[in-house]
Amino acid sequence: MATMVIVVNAKALEQKYGERATEVWRAVDDLIAADADRGIQTQLVKLDDPEVPGTGSPIPLDADCSAIKDAIDAIFQARRPDYLMLLGGPDLLPHCELQNPAPGDGDAIVPSDLPYACEAPCSTKAADFIAPTRVVSRTPDVPGATDPDVLINELRVATTWTSRSRKRYEPYLGVTAEVWMGSTRLSLTQLYGNASAMQVSPPDGPDWEAASLGHLSHFGNLHGAQRSSQYYGQHGSSYPVAHDASVVEGRLEDGTVAAFEACYGGELFESNPQPAMPFAYLGSGAYGFFGSTTIAYGPTNGNDYADVICRLFQSSILNGASIGRAGLEARQEYVAQSTPLDPVDLKTLAQFLVLGNPAAQPALSPSQTVDPGISLEGSEAAQMEAHIAQAPARREGLFAKGMALREVASWAEPLAGEPSTEIVSALRELSSVPSGGEATVTSFSLSGGAQAHAMAVVAGTPPEPATMHLLVQQIEHEEAPMPQRVAVIALEASGQLISVKTAVTK
């Protein structure tokens, strides 16, 4: 039988909602009962309860990430659940605050749930968490809220989910800023086989017709801004609103899954007065939401960084993964494809949140079958039950893949000092931004990849020492929802730049 653990800081939740906390506990009881019918043994673990075994010491009312991470590590060591749900927003179960591995873009830290999905002990370095092994997602409540209505509704969706055929997820709402049409066309074509339904801002959006919002797959390559309930398009120096939480609220089909590349697109903040975009989705029946807590990056053309990790998440959904497994598979595959991980890769890996019930499987996989002995063969319910029954075996494979990544992946490690003036001049020229703009240049060595390095030495071809450089430079666009920046990432060997990538902020 598959297993799931729901973790919560119960005292903090009860203090936040008072008498109405009992409604939350009833909603959790309903979820546990529904899971039992599906073949999932779900347990609620109150991390502040000293009577609950396997959690280490009970956490305090104002527990930080370190205490919660230690408790979750103890849970996985003792119980090895197939799924783990973080219940509550960052004021109940805080994100881990990681140092920004790509300095110079205005983000001092990266609020992240990635450490909870990793075996590595708590730290503030994103590079310590490049080997995720756990299926973990968050069902968040609204920070600062005085009533639990949004959380209760999210738990209703988490309780009543049902799998649908993959074909139901092939029609999509795909929205792009005009300047990123080429990049988004690649993403949509790889995911859905075409980009014919791509919406471009400007002029499209944000008042989407019911038919468009009713598609179960949503994918966006748009600008975002801190504490904004809107995403934005771009034409030149114009940034019109392309997607608005107020338009989304109450107009989705249950089962929607969304991935957005926007800066701060997954930030969880209190209503101001509109809710953050993730709450508009999850509160309107979405099974899952994938978005960034901070400034995200991608190229103008081609796919990289936010483009890739969002596409990998939606691809796993289309191939039959649960919400939590899609997050883990996207993270693992991103590391596998991107090593050596440059500073922007590390930030991309750390910043994207997986939101929703980790066990909910939106789409049946194309190859999903049922044991011939089951009388309901061919029915979606029977296929869903068979899929859940196979969860423990899948977890073993994903755990093994994560542990292998820890041995072969390499990453950028900050170096003291500054690069030569020649390198800085070359990076500035490659950025195509006037040299007078504010810029930050940082250099990195490559660390890790011990197994790959050892194999190369045995083969007689040890790799040449290399240095990475990152230039982040601000672009002045007065109408932009937030300061825009360009990042140039270059690899230097023997005094020469041997590869260069350029990305812009979303």
Evaluated on CA atoms 254, 192, 176, 172, the torsion sign reads negative
pLDDT score for 269: 94
pLDDT in tens, 143-160: 999 999 999 999 999 999
Which of 501 and 373 is assigned the larger pLDDT? 501
Evaluated on CA atoms 501, 504, 505, 506, the torsion sign reads negative
> Do both 188 and 250 map to the same domain?
yes
Give the chain's domain count. 2
∠ CA 129-221-280, nearest 5°, is: 85
Residue 244 forms part of a structural domain: yes
> Do both 229 and 334 map to the same domain?
yes
Which of 237 and 260 is assigned the larger pLDDT? 260
> Do both 307 and 452 map to the same domain?
no
> Do both 218 and 352 map to the same domain?
yes
- The yes-or-no verdict on residue 370 having pLDDT over 60 is no
- The yes-or-no verdict on residue 1 having pLDDT over 80 is no
End position of a domain, from candidates 340, 370, 400: 370
Bridge partner residues of 232 (DSSP):
223, 241
pLDDT score for 273: 81
Identify whether the C-beta of residue 42 lies closer than 8 Å to the C-beta of residue 5.
yes
> Do both 424 and 488 map to the same domain?
yes
pLDDT score for 433: 66
Bridge partner residues of 254 (DSSP):
none
- The yes-or-no verdict on residue 420 having pLDDT over 90 is no
pLDDT in tens, 152-193: 999 999 999 999 999 999 999 999 999 999 999 999 999 999
- The yes-or-no verdict on residue 378 having pLDDT over 90 is no
In this prediction, what percent of the chain has a pLDDT beyond 90? 72
Residue 65 forms part of a structural domain: no
The CATH number that applies at residue 501 is 3.10.450
> Do both 237 and 288 map to the same domain?
yes
Average pLDDT on 289-296 reads: 98
> Do both 440 and 317 map to the same domain?
no
Residue 346 forms part of a structural domain: yes
Rounded Cα–Cα distance for residues 383 and 339 (Å) = 36
H, E, C per residue of 247-275? HHCCCCCCCCEEEECCCCCCCCCCCCCCC
Residue 366 forms part of a structural domain: yes
> Do both 250 and 317 map to the same domain?
yes
- Copy the structure tokens of residue 60: 């305090």
End position of a domain, from candidates 370, 398, 421: 370
Which of 434 and 30 is assigned the larger pLDDT? 30
Which of 214 and 477 is assigned the larger pLDDT? 214
> Do both 270 and 418 map to the same domain?
no
Residue 269 forms part of a structural domain: yes
- The yes-or-no verdict on residue 506 having pLDDT over 90 is yes
Residue 390 forms part of a structural domain: no
pLDDT in tens, 61-76: 788 898 899 999 999 9
The CATH number that applies at residue 261 is 3.40.50.1460
Residue 281 forms part of a structural domain: yes
pLDDT score for 426: 81
pLDDT in tens, 51-108: 665 666 788 778 889 889 999 999 999 889 999 999 999 999 999 999 999 999 999 9
Residue 243's nearest CA partner among 311, 169, 175, 171 is 175
pLDDT score for 458: 41
Residue 296 forms part of a structural domain: yes
> Do both 294 and 227 map to the same domain?
yes
> Do both 416 and 293 map to the same domain?
no
Q: Give the range of the structural domain holding residue 267, as residue numbers without chain letter.
A: 163-370
Bridge partner residues of 450 (DSSP):
none
Question: Does residue 202 have a cis bond before it (omega within 30 degrees)?
Answer: yes
> Do both 331 and 452 map to the same domain?
no
- The yes-or-no verdict on residue 349 having pLDDT over 90 is yes
Rounded to 10 degrees, the C-alpha dihedral 219/221/223/229 comes to 0
**What mean pLDDT value characterizes the chain?**
90
Rounded Cα–Cα distance for residues 236 and 477 (Å) = 9
- Copy the structure tokens of residue 302: 């081609």
- Copy the structure tokens of residue 141: 């409540």
Identify whether the C-beta of residue 347 lies closer than 8 Å to the C-beta of residue 101.
yes
pLDDT score for 435: 58
